[in-house]
Amino acid sequence: MGAMYDAIIIGAGHNGLVTAAYLARAGRRVLVLARRDVVGGACVTEEVWPGYKVSTAAYVNSLLRPEIIRDLRLADYGFAMLPRDPSSFTPFPDGRSLLLGPDRAMTQREIAKFSEHDAAAYPEYEAMLERVADLIEPTLIQTPPAPWSKRPRDLLALGKLGWNFRALGVDASRAIEILTADARTVLDRWFESEQLKATLATDAIIGAFASPSMAGTAYVLFHHVMGECNGVRGVWGYVRGGMGGITQALASSARALGVNIRVDSPVSRIVVRDGRARSVVLEDGTEFLAHQIASNADPNVTFLRLMDPRDLPDDFLRAVRQIDYRSA
């Protein structure tokens, strides 16, 4: 039996490491148990061939919150972003091509090769997305208010959200469309060039296992403009040293805050006693106790494989079994 911790985090993906570092920053004694010999999960750099290090899953960043970069002082631990400029190159069968990037004048010139109308519309399209992002982006780091709650804190948060939504004015209906519709409807409304629409639609389907005509893809498209690179919104960048540059910096920051990160420590079981998760057991049988246990593994692994189904309510288990894992 190992020592008693305030919190154990199962898994050292970037979300597990962020959780661990913030808990340690709040004075908690934290243990991270990582399955592999390297931290990072899908946000990792590995030497796949001798002498060549590559990002083996995720490869570009913009969605890592600036608050996290600042709070955990990631730059002090080697984190640095290199903006993608240009950001995309789309070749077409007729020999033409479309180059897009943070350089707005270049982007407009490139789009004008296919449509003068679209070149003129593009800055207004981007400005509209930014206005909607101003509403949605702050909610990414908020605890969502419960809509059915009567607690003043929840009602206040809901009221604030409603007020900000109202302030969108004519953009409010566009915001609803972005949050619920398919990407094709949005892109068809703004642009006529198939080349531009096809290029922009990649952001709507990436990792989504969907076509741009399926409801919900407008949000995926929009989600990709909410991040930033070195303070510039909507710009994506490479991380120096590959995506492992994020998780190595997170791990260093977490360790400096006192987090104990144990690699090669696959968890086989979360032990529940008297209705509470009390400890975790590794595959080699070592057990660690904690007041709180958080899992960075997905709900399928966490609730269906690491826990005994008898410890969980039936309707909850049913909901977990119904999660659709077909996309990335």
Ligand X SMILES: Cc1cc2nc3c(=O)[nH]c(=O)nc-3n(C[C@H](O)[C@H](O)[C@H](O)COP(=O)(O)OP(=O)(O)OC[C@H]3O[C@@H](n4cnc5c(N)ncnc54)[C@H](O)[C@@H]3O)c2cc1C
Give the nearest distance from C-beta 6 to ligand X in angstroms: 19
Residue choice 15, 115, 185, 202 for contact with ligand X (CB under 6 A): 15
Q: Is 13 in the site for ligand X (CB under 6 A)?
A: yes
Strand 81-83 relative to strand 237-239, pairing: antiparallel
The one-letter code for the residue type at 149 is S
Residue choice 36, 233, 269, 278 for contact with ligand X (CB under 6 A): 36
Q: How far apart are CA 265 and CA 34, in angstroms?
A: 5
Give the nearest distance from C-beta 184 to ligand X in angstroms: 23
Bridge partner residues of 261 (DSSP)? 32
- Nearer to ligand X by C-beta: 14 or 28? 14
- Nearer to ligand X by C-beta: 41 or 145? 41
Q: Is 42 in the site for ligand X (CB under 6 A)?
A: yes
Only one residue has tokens 């004075």, namely 27
Residue choice 5, 7, 8, 11 for contact with ligand X (CB under 6 A): 11
Q: Is 14 in the site for ligand X (CB under 6 A)?
A: yes
Give all strands (DSSP E) within 64-214, no chain letters.
Answer: 81-83, 88-91, 97-100
Q: Is 34 in the site for ligand X (CB under 6 A)?
A: yes
Q: Is 145 in the site for ligand X (CB under 6 A)?
A: no
End-to-end CA distance of the chain: 37
Q: How far apart are CA 227 and CA 240, in angstroms?
A: 18
Give the nearest distance from C-beta 34 to ligand X in angstroms: 6
Q: Is 33 in the site for ligand X (CB under 6 A)?
A: yes
Q: How far apart are CA 87 and CA 95, in angstroms?
A: 20
> Among 18, 13, 8, which residue's Cα sits nearest to residue 253?
18
Give all strands (DSSP E) within the chain, no chain letters.
Answer: 4-10, 30-33, 45-49, 52-55, 81-83, 88-91, 97-100, 228-229, 232-233, 237-239, 260-262, 267-273, 276-282, 287-295
Query: 145, 153 in Cβ contact below 8 A?
Result: yes
Give the nearest distance from C-beta 267 to ligand X in angstroms: 4
Angle between helix 183-190 and 194-205 (nearest 10)? 150
- Nearer to ligand X by C-beta: 3 or 42? 42
Interface region with ligand X, contact rule CB under 6 A, candidates 20-28, 34-42, 91-99, 187-195 = 34-42
- Nearer to ligand X by C-beta: 256 or 301? 301
Going residue by residue from 282 to 301, which x/- string records binding to ligand X, judged by CB under 6 A? Answer: --------------xx---x
Binding-residue total with ligand X (CB under 6 A) = 26
- Which residues in the 50-69 window bind ligand X by CB under 6 A? 57-61, 63
- Nearer to ligand X by C-beta: 81 or 128? 81
Q: How far apart are CA 242 and CA 322, in angstroms?
A: 34
Q: Is 242 in the site for ligand X (CB under 6 A)?
A: no
Give the nearest distance from C-beta 237 to ligand X in angstroms: 11
Residue choice 221, 239, 259, 267 for contact with ligand X (CB under 6 A): 267
Residue choice 41, 145, 242, 244 for contact with ligand X (CB under 6 A): 41
Angle between helix 14-25 and 244-256 (nearest 10)? 20
Query: 237, 59 in Cβ contact below 8 A?
Result: no
Residues that bind ligand X (CB under 6 A): 10-16, 33-36, 41-43, 57-61, 63, 266-267, 296-297, 301, 328
